[in-house]
């Protein structure tokens, strides 16, 4: 069949463009692991203001399940849980901080959604906390259910999944509310305490953190029983750097696997002579798991020894707030935490 001049020209353009396109796709990905090793520490974006997740103690040491996630990754790459610097981020600037390279990874009670993963050039590596949107009210109000909040004023952070969940829930239930939109979570808590809003909505874990932080006055606040959304909270990295993505993901799975196998920070080294093939691979005594990831053979052992298995991290940071593991139990205990095989 004879080709028209227009078609021939279009084909020529396509052919000439192919090498350039192929060359662009073949460009090496960013080497975050290399940058971390050269720098000597991991830069980890956290909230820095949330009890149980990331909050400095009286000595200035960052404490929480999110900050321990950062420490675990630092241990896997650098062999030292202390080689991490925490960068406080807000709900508004957290994604920009990761996109720009201000931080290597983000662990900030951030919900895994399609929109965030598809549009931001970022990728969720693992879920360290399965959560959901909840509501807190003052106990004196007598409110027992979210359905009783029709016409209420509700404090909420802008640009969060919580804001969307709030709007969707009230609309779908033919209820009205007045949003009190405040950027800072500390200001939201103060506004709620002072009576500027009837209810305060955010992740249920954050509500538990708020209530726990009130100490002797905790009884003045009630967390309502309804959870109105799914909020898988996890660690984020930049897309394209799959070596670093694998490390962040498999570090979380290593902590879950350790819990499955009965390993913890106190006894992990005693497993070195265990003949179970799965244990031997975990310990770095057989297979090449560390080599495949570009880290030392005993990387998983060091993560558990220095930071703990997932249960230890949970019990250290979340249990004191009175939050049950629930969905965050291992899969064989009725939860959603399910590590793929390390082989």
- Comparing 30-129+231-330 with 131-229, is the CATH topology the same? yes
Tokens for 142, please give them: 């007598």
Q: Who contacts 302 (Cβ-Cβ below 8 Å, separation ≥6)?
A: 75, 76, 79, 296
Strand 231-238: give its sheet, edge to edge.
Answer: 84-88, 42-46, 105-111, 231-238, 122-131
Tokens for 32, please give them: 């975050």
Q: 30-129+231-330 maps to which CATH number?
A: 3.40.190.10
333: left (phi over 0), alpha (psi -120 to 50) or beta: alpha
Going by pLDDT thresholds of 50, 70 and 90, the confidence category of residue 22 is very low
pLDDT digits (tens, 9 = 90+) for 143-199: 999 999 999 999 998 878 899 999 999 999 999 999 999 988 889 999 999 999 999
Would you state the CATH architecture of domain 131-229?
Answer: 3-Layer(aba) Sandwich (3.40)
> What is the pairing mode between strands 199-203 and 133-138?
antiparallel
- The span from the CA of 251 to the CA of 295, in Å, is 11
Helix count (H) and strand count (E) of the chain? 13, 12
For residue 12, pLDDT over 80 is answered with no
For residue 253, pLDDT over 90 is answered with yes
- The span from the CA of 258 to the CA of 339, in Å, is 10
The reported pLDDT for the residue numbered 18 is: 37
The separation between the first and the last C-alpha atoms of the chain, rounded to the nearest angstrom, is 54
Hey, CA dihedral for 78, 82, 83, 84, is it positive or negative?
Answer: positive
- The span from the CA of 225 to the CA of 230, in Å, is 15
pLDDT, the chain, mean: 91
Tokens for 137, please give them: 């009210």
- DSSP symbol at 78: H
In 3-state terms the chain splits into helix, strand, coil percentages (rounded to 5) of 50, 20, 35
The percent of residues above 70 in pLDDT, for the chain, comes to 92
> What is the pairing mode between strands 152-156 and 199-203?
parallel
For residue 24, pLDDT over 60 is answered with no
Going by pLDDT thresholds of 50, 70 and 90, the confidence category of residue 1 is very low
- The span from the CA of 55 to the CA of 213, in Å, is 11
Tokens for 213, please give them: 């932080």
The residue assigned the tokens 């670093």 is 244
Domain locations along the chain: 30-129+231-330, 131-229
Return the HEC string of 28-77: CCCCHHHHHHHHCCEEEEECCCECCCEEECCCCCEECHHHHHHHHHHHHH
- The span from the CA of 225 to the CA of 203, in Å, is 13
The pTM of this model reads 0.85
């Amino acid at each position: 069949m004879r080709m028209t001049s227009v078609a021939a020209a279009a084909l020529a353009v396509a052919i000439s463009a192919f090498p350039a396109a192929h060359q662009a796709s073949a460009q090496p990905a960013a080497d975050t692991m290399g940058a971390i090793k050269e720098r000597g520490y991991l830069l980890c974006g956290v909230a820095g203001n949330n009890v149980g997740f990331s909050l400095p103690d009286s000595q200035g040491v960052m404490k929480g399940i999110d900050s321990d996630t950062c420490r675990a990754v630092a241990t896997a790459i650098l062999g030292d849980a202390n080689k991490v610097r925490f960068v406080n981020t807000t709900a508004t600037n957290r994604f920009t901080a990761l996109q720009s390279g201000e931080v290597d990874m983000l662990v900030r009670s951030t919900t895994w959604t399609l929109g965030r993963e598809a549009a931001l050039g970022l990728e969720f590596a693992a879920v360290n906390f399965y959560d959901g949107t909840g509501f807190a009210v003052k106990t004196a109000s007598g409110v027992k259910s979210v359905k009783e909040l029709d016409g209420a004023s509700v404090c909420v952070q802008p640009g969060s999944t919580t804001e969307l969940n709030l709007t969707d829930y009230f609309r779908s239930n033919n209820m009205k509310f007045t949003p009190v939109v405040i950027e800072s979570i500390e200001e939201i808590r103060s506004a709620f305490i002072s009576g500027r809003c009837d209810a305060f909505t955010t992740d249920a874990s954050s509500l538990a953190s708020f209530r726990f932080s009130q100490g002797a006055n905790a009884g003045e606040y009630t967390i309502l029983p309804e959870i109105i959304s799914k909020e898988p909270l996890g660690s984020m990295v930049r897309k394209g750097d799959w070596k670093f993505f694998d490390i962040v993901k498999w570090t979380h799975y290593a902590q879950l696997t350790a819990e499955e196998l009965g390993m913890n920070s106190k006894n992990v080294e005693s497993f070195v002579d265990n003949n179970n093939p799965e244990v031997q691979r975990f310990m770095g005594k057989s297979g090449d798991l560390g080599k495949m990831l570009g880290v030392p053979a005993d990387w998983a052992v060091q993560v558990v020894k220095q930071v703990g298995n997932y249960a230890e991290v949970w019990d250290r940071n979340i249990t004191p707030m009175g939050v049950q593991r629930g969905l965050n139990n291992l899969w064989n205990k009725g939860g959603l935490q399910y590590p793929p095989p390390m082989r």
